[in-house]
Structure 1
Amino acid sequence: MSKKPLGKDHDGVQKVMRTGDYFADSLGQFALNAMSGLIAQIAYFYTDKVGVAAATVTAVLMICKVIDAFTDIIMGNIIDHTKPGKEKYRPWLLKMAIPAAVVIVALFTVPANASEGLKLAYMLITNILLTAIVYTAIAIPYSSLMVVRTNSQQERGIMGTWRAAAGYVSGMIIAIGIIPITNALGGNQSAWVKFGFGFALMVILTLLICYARSKETAVESGKEADVTIVEDDEEAVPFKEAIGNLFRNKYWVMILVMGFLSQLSYGITSGAGAYYCKWIYGDDNLTAILGGVGLIPTVIGFALIGPMIKKLGVTNSLKVSFFIGMVTTALRIINPTDFVYNTALGCFATFANIPMMCLLGVMTAMTIDYNEYKYGKRIVATSQAASSFGGKIGSGVGSSVIVFCLALANYDGFATVLTPAVRQAIYTFSIYIPLVLFIIMFVITLKFDLEEKLPEYRQEIEKRKRA
């Protein structure tokens, strides 16, 4: 039975994606967020389950993230220099599935009774393997797939929403479940190893499904098989020239900064909850309730993002969401100790983060299209890698900000009394810093005008191709 033709989007671009394609593609983000979600909790695991000093954890996470960020650039260069005629992106999903699972489990098998030096070495090696090598070798080609999978901006937006939703599900399972589940399993290091093993199996499965369904050419089968939009095998751009071009693309620079700030925010909020619940609310098991309530604005956010984009457009949707995030985060300063009050305001902040989760990849794809208009080449993988570079630095700094603040306050994970210094440290990384980040991102969106200019640029690109 032939499939129903998909037709064209509102811009007249051929559509190529079906529901099964969106779902399978989104599983790649599920796997990536599973890895990043576990990393976001690793500071709490190191300080409160293995007994590593907060200052040591800070050093480890910062070193790993710096290395991780630079491997993004290397990976992008490797992909962009793949020999013409070969698939550039999807094979990496298959290659990295098993290594990802192995390293996830190894992350939690820190030799608890070893010397501080041996613990430090083990933590460095396992974190670098997971974040700088395995995660990067998946994330860069996976993010690039959006650009070559479809030329439809509408379908890219839908892909972004599906990816964000799948990634959020993965992250929320960890945020909601990791404390109560590991506590139920004994609350010790062994419990965390078991939790990690379960996610390792899910990572293998989701990557294999994503690989099986993904494509690198936007080809619609069935009645519209004659409609073929194939990625051009453009000549590889020398690395130095590619980076120079990117930094002369003002829109790409804006997205680079927004990616850094958004990942900084996610890195902080993902790791802050356990500390806030344990010390401000007095019960770390409240992280499960906090995460469960957070599902409400998440579901609402994913339900509304489509209508928001249709009504307001991509950029204006972000402006509205960042404004909501600014106001509600600022209101938390009034009464930071009340669980109900802060949870309610936190729901609005959670909603405010959803559009950015969905649309950062879409906006990056816009800047790649602008590369083609400005330079005649899209520079796909290097563009994605350099954007990821900023995001990785942001995520690493986010995780490190938490332990850095705690280290300044002389935090002791085994203490029984909350000191004033630790209280202020927790308020700083949970409220004050996220507020500043919302403000900066709102200002950047006020300057981003590429969306309204892009149709004109695409027409010019088509004229050049026909000439």
Structure 2
Amino acid sequence: MAKKPLGTDSMGIQKTMRIGDYLGDCGGQFALNAMTGLVSAVMYFYTEKVGVAAATAANVLLAAKIVDAFTDLIMGKIMDNGKSPKGKCRPWFLRMAIPCFVAIVALFTVPAGLTGVGQVAYLFLSNVFLTAIVSTAVVIPYSAILVMRTKSLDERNKMGIFRAAAGYIIGMIIAIALVPITNMLGPDGVADQAAYIKFAVIVGALSAIFLLILYKTSKETAAAEEKPDDGLAFGDALNKLFHNKYWVIVLLANLFVNVIYALSASSGTYYAKYILGDDNLIGIMGAVGLIPTFVGFIVVGPMTKKFGLTKTLKIAFALGILGNAIRCIKPDSFILCITVGLLGSFATIPMMCLGGTLTSMSMDYNDYKYHNKIIGMSASASSFGAKVSSGIGGSLVGWILALTGFSGNMAEVTTPVRYGIYGFCIYIPLAMFVVLFILISKFDLEAKYADMMKEISARNAKEKAAQ
């Protein structure tokens, strides 16, 4: 039986996606968030289970993240120059399935008895392998395929929602359940290194499977209908990107939102253990935090249809400002943490869902302005900024703890340590939400998008007729 035609979206652009396409596509986000989530959570593993000094762990993670960020730029160029008959993006999902499993497990298999330079080298290399090689070789093609899969903003928004939901599921499993599950897997209800390795094996296997499904179901439909981009020199491509104000706004927004994500993933366990007195409370905090998350995934689509992308994001960031501002009044309150703190949890969901659409719109503006979408470099340079900021966000936890005199499993929490934890749990996210609100207020491409795409289509048709 022939499939029913898909029709056009609200802007009159042809649709290309069916439910199976969305489900297959979102598997890639599961694998990516598994890798990034475990890297964010590994600080606690290093300081509490392996005995690494907080400052050492923070510096190692930041160094690996800087290497990771620069490999993004290289990967963008490699992808743009790809000649595979399967496309520019798809082959990388197959190539990275097994390395993804190996890299996730290696993150936690720090050799027993390894100390000093040898230990630091292992931590650094295992992080570089996971983030700078495997994750990079997935995230750049995965970001780019959004714009190559469909021209429809409605479908890109929907892809973003599916991706965010899948990524959030594994992200929350790591953030909420990592400590309770590893404690359960450890001897006498206390997690040891072997418990973390068992958890990593399960997550790594699932991630590899989802990458294989992504390879099987992904297509580059929209890209097949257009002339291929002419290759641009690295410097020329980068110069053009920084003269695209919309791409710069998305770059900066990704910078700040990833600081918030990294802080949230890295800091919750410290707050539960040293402010509230029990690290198992992270499970309750996370479970309550699921409420605004599920609400966010449900309402972001209707909100986008009613208010548009930018206004939806402005509403979300305003709620983030409000929630964190109220928590500043009594930062050690568990009640405020699990009530108004929900506003901060909700505030990150729309950007999680719509960030990819904003990036794809900036790529389309490249096409409008330069006659070249600069897809690989756009995705890689945006990812470069996001990874540097996530590295900074995660390392901030270690740096602040080191500056305040923190030591692992400390029996008494000093005042400096307490205020340091307040800082990376509440004060810094508040400042980030203010910056995000200002940035997204400057993104006015949405109102111009339909006319811009019509002009691009007319120009391409004219060029094709002239050939």
Query: For this structure pair, what is the TM-score category when the shorter chain's length is used for normalisation?
Result: over 0.9
Partners in 1 of 2:270 and 2:317 — Cα distance? 25
Which residues of 2 match residues 139-218 of structure 1 at below 5 A? 139-186=139-186, 187-218=191-222
Which residues of 2 match residues 405-444 of structure 1 at below 5 A? 405-444=400-439
| Superposition deviation, residue 11 in structure 1 | 1.2
- Alpha carbons of 1:28 and 1:7: their partners in 2 closer, same or farther (altered >3 Å)? same
Q: Which residue of 2 aligns with 1:26?
A: 26
Partners in 1 of 2:293 and 2:413 — Cα distance? 32
| Superposition deviation, residue 456 in structure 1 | 2.0
Q: Which residue of 2 aligns with 1:12?
A: 12
- Structure 1 window deviating more from structure 2 (300-309 vs 448-457): it is 448-457
Q: Give per-residue Cα distances to partners, 1:136-182, cap 9 Å, x unaligned.
A: 00000011110110111110010011001110011011111100011
1:333 maps to which of 294, 310, 328 = 328
Q: Which amino acid aligns with 1:264?
A: V
| Superposition deviation, residue 382 in structure 1 | 0.7
Secondary structure of the 1:41 match is helix
| Superposition deviation, residue 231 in structure 1 | 4.2
- The answer on 1:388 being equivalent to 2:383 is yes
Q: Which residue of 1 aligns with 2:465?
A: none
Q: Give per-residue Cα distances to partners, 1:292-323, cap 9 Å, x unaligned.
A: 11111111000000110000000110000000
Q: Which residue of 2 aligns with 1:310?
A: 305
- Alpha carbons of 1:232 and 1:84: their partners in 2 closer, same or farther (altered >3 Å)? farther
Partners in 2 of 1:234 and 1:271 — Cα distance? 40
Unmatched 5+ stretches in structure 1? 220-228
Partners in 1 of 2:439 and 2:222 — Cα distance? 32
Q: CA contact under 8 A between 1:84 and 1:233: conserved in structure 2? A: no
Which residues of 2 match residues 32-51 of structure 1 at below 5 A? 32-51=32-51
Secondary structure of the 2:340 match is helix
Q: Which amino acid aligns with 1:148?
A: M
- Alpha carbons of 1:46 and 1:84: their partners in 2 closer, same or farther (altered >3 Å)? closer
Q: Which residue of 2 aligns with 1:129?
A: 129
- Structure 1 window deviating more from structure 2 (365-374 vs 342-351): it is 342-351
Unmatched 5+ stretches in structure 2? 463-467
Partners in 2 of 1:98 and 1:82 — Cα distance? 21
Q: Please give the root-mean-square deviation of Cα atoms over the aligned residues, in Å.
A: 1.2
Scaled by the length of structure 1, what TM-score is found? Answer: 0.96
Q: Which amino acid aligns with 1:131?
A: T
Partners in 1 of 2:85 and 2:219 — Cα distance? 14
Give the total of aligned pairs.
458
Which residues of 2 match residues 54-73 of structure 1 at below 5 A? 54-73=54-73
Q: Which residue of 1 aligns with 2:364?
A: 369
Scaled by the length of structure 2, what TM-score is found? Answer: 0.96
Q: Which residue of 2 aligns with 1:225?
A: none
Q: Which residue of 1 aligns with 2:250?
A: 255
- Alpha carbons of 1:158 and 1:29: their partners in 2 closer, same or farther (altered >3 Å)? same
Q: Which residue of 1 aligns with 2:82?
A: 82
- Alpha carbons of 1:377 and 1:62: their partners in 2 closer, same or farther (altered >3 Å)? same
Partners in 2 of 1:17 and 1:84 — Cα distance? 23
Q: CA contact under 8 A between 2:366 and 2:372: conserved in structure 1? A: yes
Q: Which amino acid aligns with 2:164?
A: A
Q: Give per-residue Cα distances to partners, 1:262-319, cap 9 Å, x unaligned.
A: 1111000111100000000000001111111111111100000011000000011000
Q: Which amino acid aligns with 2:251?
A: L
| Superposition deviation, residue 232 in structure 1 | 2.8
Partners in 1 of 2:381 and 2:97 — Cα distance? 23
1:301 maps to which of 292, 296, 301 = 296
Q: CA contact under 8 A between 2:147 and 2:222: conserved in structure 1? A: no
Partners in 1 of 2:371 and 2:417 — Cα distance? 53
Q: Which amino acid aligns with 1:256?
A: L
Q: Which residue of 2 aligns with 1:245?
A: 240
| Superposition deviation, residue 466 in structure 1 | 2.6
Partners in 2 of 1:465 and 1:261 — Cα distance? 36
Q: Give per-residue Cα distances to partners, 1:79-112, cap 9 Å, x unaligned.
A: 1112385511011000001011011111101123
Q: Which residue of 2 aligns with 1:226?
A: none
Partners in 2 of 1:87 and 1:15 — Cα distance? 20
Which residues of 2 match residues 261-276 of structure 1 at below 5 A? 261-276=256-271
Partners in 2 of 1:205 and 1:388 — Cα distance? 24
Partners in 1 of 2:160 and 2:235 — Cα distance? 30
Q: CA contact under 8 A between 2:252 and 2:385: conserved in structure 1? A: yes
- The answer on 1:359 being equivalent to 2:354 is yes
| Superposition deviation, residue 218 in structure 1 | 4.0
Q: CA contact under 8 A between 2:322 and 2:343: conserved in structure 1? A: no
Q: CA contact under 8 A between 1:93 and 1:211: conserved in structure 2? A: yes
Secondary structure of the 1:448 match is coil
- Structure 1 window deviating more from structure 2 (89-98 vs 8-17): it is 8-17
- Alpha carbons of 1:231 and 1:210: their partners in 2 closer, same or farther (altered >3 Å)? farther
Q: CA contact under 8 A between 1:112 and 1:119: conserved in structure 2? A: no
Q: Which residue of 1 aligns with 2:112?
A: 112
Q: Which amino acid aligns with 1:213?
A: T
Q: Which residue of 2 aligns with 1:235?
A: 230
Q: Which amino acid aligns with 1:211?
A: Y
Q: Which amino acid aligns with 2:378?
A: S
